[in-house]
Amino acid sequence: MHRRTWLKSATAGVCSVSASGWMPALANRVANDPKRRRHCIVLWMGGGPSQTDTFDLKPDHENGGEFKEIATSVPGIRISEHLPQLAKHADKLAIVRSLSTKEGDHTRGTHLMQTGHSPMGAINYPSMGSVFARELGSTRDALPNFISVGQGRMFSDSSTGSGFLGPRYSPLRVTGTGGQFQAPGEENEQAAAANFASMNIPGLKPPSNIDAQRMARRLELLNMHQQSFIGQHVSPAALAHKTVYEGAVQLMNGDSAAAFDLSKEPEKLRREYGEGVFGQGCMLARRLIEHGAAFVEVNLDSSTTASVGWDTHSNIFESVKSLSQELDAGWATLMRDLEDRGLLESTTILWMGEFGRTPKINSQGGRDHFPQAWTCVLGGGGIAGGQAYGRTSKDGLQVEENKCGVGNVLATLCSALGVDPASQHETNTGRPVALVEDEPIEELLA
């Protein structure tokens, strides 16, 4: 039973004894119980989203560009006109406008933001998805604890891997096909059949020419050989390999596979999320969280759009308008849907890409790579929403207040999820490594 449904039922049952005083307090304690299982959703904007055209506009400067600001649900906080639905949820968001990093290359920047480390040295660091899969997940679950939806491979696929944590914490990659986002005013409500993107998991079902009995015999043979090998070669790698295969079989044959079936959702709600891969991916993220997944990443990039994603070196305003509208529908509906189901208090959301884009518009009408002063956004459980943290200069070229780095952001995410950022993992060579080596931003924590 969802928390909200339980609260309604309980309230109805005890209304005669005036529960108005203790019910809200009870709900608040349940939501903030440190032992309650936490979840994380990362909305990854591959290509580098322009902070100047989304969450840190400069309307009174020549660098500001074409977009206008709009008011949000929080007085004083203004964002892009193309994020109107998300503006209603500003009280649950913490906009970090003072992020400053040192990697302006797509591959290196992606690795930095996904792992907290620049790609150098002998250690193969795990991505944040793998870290949280280990810290928040359960090995008893059939559903993988790290699921990546629409994973783009244009820049750096390896940076979202499990590194020294091993294959047990590798992501299950879900690809999206078909579907196309319909911008506001362009929806065809009379369409005979909605054109929703479909979510595909390679290998989830046996080949069509393999019946159940034959599949069972194959799995029995595989298990026999695995047990024989492990008996003679006991090692962490062999055990991890066996665990991964067992998890895949459990998912293939169990009830958890139903979490990926979006056809069970009302068509109206699916349209509100957006018919494209990103919108349907956001809906899938909500379903996966409901089924207990620890970490879900949803990509809005070149793998989920018919464009270069946020890598807008030219024609930026037309591209970012379209991307923002798709982002707005998916993200805002996700926030509302999680809240309606009593899941937002235990789910922390992080929106970011590998870097920002130059405030100055180039000769092709676009913005180039810019890691010096840019924006990410945190929201949901554990986050003190309703604020814009940090400030950039009037021209947007430098951070003037509360400069922070990727380590601070990831440490804040850890703390919001109830994970100690100073806790350690051990590499495959026995070296202890802290999850994050920086301090969280206390002002952002609820």
Q: Where are the beta strands (DSSP E) in 178-318?
A: 198-200, 295-299
Q: Is residue 305 part of a domain?
A: yes
Query: What per-residue string of b and e applies to 191-230 under the rule 16 or more CB within 10 Å gives b?
Result: eeeeebbebebeeeeeeeeeeeeebeeebeeeeeebeeee
Which residues of the chain register pLDDT less than 50?
Answer: 1-32, 34, 190, 192
Domain encompassing residue 305: 40-203+266-444
Residue owning tokens 């024989």: 228
Q: Is residue 35 part of a domain?
A: no
Rounded CA separation 78/362 (Å): 25
Residues 309, 152 contacting (CB under 8 angstroms): yes
For 171, which DSSP code? P
| pLDDT one-digit tens code per residue, 27-81 | 444 444 545 679 999 999 999 999 999 999 999 999 999 999 999 999 999 999 9
pLDDT at residue 14, as a whole number: 37
411: Cα separation from own chain's centroid: 16
Q: Is residue 257 part of a domain?
A: no
Q: Is residue 353 part of a domain?
A: yes
| pLDDT one-digit tens code per residue, 233-264 | 666 566 566 665 566 666 666 667 788 889 99
Q: Give the CATH number of the domain where residue 311 resides.
A: 3.40.720.10
Please name the residues in contact with 155: beta carbons below 8 A apart, sequence gap of 6 or more.
Answer: 46, 47, 106, 107, 110, 354
| pLDDT one-digit tens code per residue, 103-122 | 999 999 999 999 999 988 78
Q: Is residue 243 part of a domain?
A: no
Rounded CA separation 284/385 (Å): 24
Q: Is residue 235 part of a domain?
A: no
Rounded CA separation 399/422 (Å): 27
pLDDT at residue 211, as a whole number: 75
Domain count, the chain: 1
Evaluated on CA atoms 283, 284, 289, 294, the torsion sign reads negative
Q: Is residue 32 part of a domain?
A: no
DSSP string, 104-129: -SHHHHHHHHHHSS-S-SS--PPPHH
Residues 73, 326 contacting (CB under 8 angstroms): no
Phi, psi of 379 (to 5 degrees): -160, 170
Q: Is residue 433 part of a domain?
A: yes
